[in-house]
Each structure stands twice: as structure tokens, then as C-alpha cells.
Amino acid sequence: RHTRFKCDWSSDVCSSDLDLFTPEIVQLIEEAARNASLAWEAGEVERQRDAEREKRSAAEERFQRIFTSSPVPKQIHSASDGRLIAINQEHERIFGYPLDEIRGSLWFERAYPDEELRQKITRYWKLDIERARKSPEVITSPELSIRCRDGSERIVVGHMALSGNDMIVSWTDLTAIRRSEQALRDSEERFRVLAENSLAGIYVVEGQQLAYVNPAFAAIFGYRVRSEEHTSELQSHLNLVCRLLL
């Protein structure tokens, strides 16, 4: 049922029902409204905080996935004291150490067993941390030889960047490249020794020019390879021979 209240607007005072809205009640209503507004604002602030926490959590989860599954060996060090606090899967695969064996300062002891070299590396490491604090650029180390868990050596270059209070280090493994270069140098040296001591004449042609002749080849034509006075004459003569041979 709905009750209708009638007010005689021609009189100075309405019906007694309207007397319910006294100044005290109005004040209570206004205070309730303010409290409701404050409660809503507090709830909105909390919702914003929850949203920010979710964003941070999602960002941390993405970073963790990227860090863990990266195909590049990576480390995280504390920027305050330089101690190792995390490594990824590729780091353990390349160097062989689980985190528990190299955590903190143990990494430097395992990776650089020579004390003199370790002290030098540690000194430069502290200087690099200070440089990273002053500059946002990535700091690159010289080539380093790191001792692996199985006793082998890896030739690497480190790339260090500061993120908050963390130093993130990525390692570029140059071992295969340097071994290939060394194998090529060894092969060239074996060829040189063989050619220099051969009784047969040996020559190497690059383009239409003789790039190399051994002593036996020069002797066949009456020259000495290492004689400065014969160098240009020998080259001209052998280039002519090269054209005839080709």
C-alpha cells in the first residue's frame, strides 16, 4: 500500500510528516553520504592498487619466462654487493654449474680458479657496476676464459646492464668460433711447414697472380724467395709462368 501525504501549501507549515527532515536528520544524511563517498573512493583506490599489483605480477612472470627460457646464458647479480642470485637454464647447460654451486661469490671462485686473474676480474667487475649505475648503456667485457664444471674452458664475452637493483649479465659464447680460427691457423701452419720443406715445387694462385711459391719452386727458375733484390723480378717472372700454366 502506498500512503499519500498531502501538504497544504497555502498554510505556513506542511503536515507533521514533513517535520521528519529536521536539521539534525539532514546533517545525518549528509554525513552518511560523505561516508559512502569516502568508502567508494577507498574501494576505488584499493581496486587501482590491485590492478597495479596484477600488472607488476604479470610483468615479473613474463620476465621470468623470458629469462628462464632464453637461448643465451644469463645471470642476475645484486647491484649492491655483486653477488650472484640467479641463472637461467642455458647458463647451467653451457657452464655446467647448478645455482647452488655458484651462488653468491662462489661464481668467481669456480669460473676463475687462478687467484691473480680472479682478483683482477673482481676489481674490474666492481668498476663496471659503478659505470652501469651512471650510464644506461650496456657494458661489454673483453674476451674471458671461464672454467666450466667439467674442467673445460669457454671463451666468452659478457654484456652487463642495470635493472633496478639487479645486474643482468648475458654471455656470448665464442668458443666454437675461436676454435675454428685456431684450427685454420694450425692447418695453414702445417701447410707452410710442408711446403717450405718440400723438394717439389709448390705454388698458390689467387686470381691471376701467384700468391705463394715455396723455395723449391723458386729454385727451379733460379731465384731465391727471400732475396729482396729478386722479389719484383721473381714476381714478374712467376706471373708469366702462371699465365702459361693456366
Q: Could you give the CA distance from residue 64 to residue 210 in angstroms, rounded to a whole number?
A: 58
pLDDT digits 0-9 by tens, 173-229: 999 999 999 999 999 999 889 988 998 988 887 776 767 788 888 888 777 665 444
Q: Could you give the CA distance from residue 201 to residue 82 in angstroms, rounded to a whole number?
A: 61
Query: What confidence tier does 54 reach under pLDDT thresholds 50, 70, 90?
Result: confident
**pLDDT at 19 exceeding the cut of 60:** no
Q: Could you give the CA distance from residue 104 to residue 78 in angstroms, rounded to a whole number?
A: 9
Q: Could you give the CA distance from residue 104 to residue 115 in angstroms, rounded to a whole number?
A: 17
**pLDDT at 70 exceeding the cut of 50:** yes
Classify 7 in phi/psi space as left (phi over 0), alpha (psi -120 to 50) or beta: beta
Query: What confidence tier does 16 reach under pLDDT thresholds 50, 70, 90?
Result: very low
Percent of the chain whose pLDDT exceeds 90: 39
Q: What angle do CA 78, 80, 82 make, to 5 degrees?
A: 50
3-state secondary structure of 141: coil
pLDDT value of position 135: 81
Instruction: Please compute the mean of the pLDDT values over residues 151-173 and round it to a whole number.
Output: 93
Q: How many CA atoms lie within 13 A of 229 on its CB side?
A: 0
Phi, psi of 243 (to 5 degrees): -65, -35
Q: Could you give the CA distance from residue 102 to residue 9 in angstroms, rounded to a whole number?
A: 90
**To which residue does cell 607488476 refer?**
56
For residue 76 the three cell numbers come to 642476475
pLDDT digits 0-9 by tens, 94-129: 999 999 999 998 999 999 999 999 999 989 888 888
Q: Could you give the CA distance from residue 111 to residue 145 in angstroms, rounded to a whole number?
A: 8
pLDDT value of position 241: 62
> Residues with Cβ < 8 Å from 133, sequence gap 6 or more?
79, 162
Where does residue 238 rank: exposed (0-12), middle (13-18), buried (19+ CB within 10 A)? buried
pLDDT value of position 18: 45
Q: Quick one: which H or E segment has residue 36?
A: helix 23-69
> For the chain, what is the largest distance between any 2 Cα atoms, rounded to a whole number of angstroms?
142
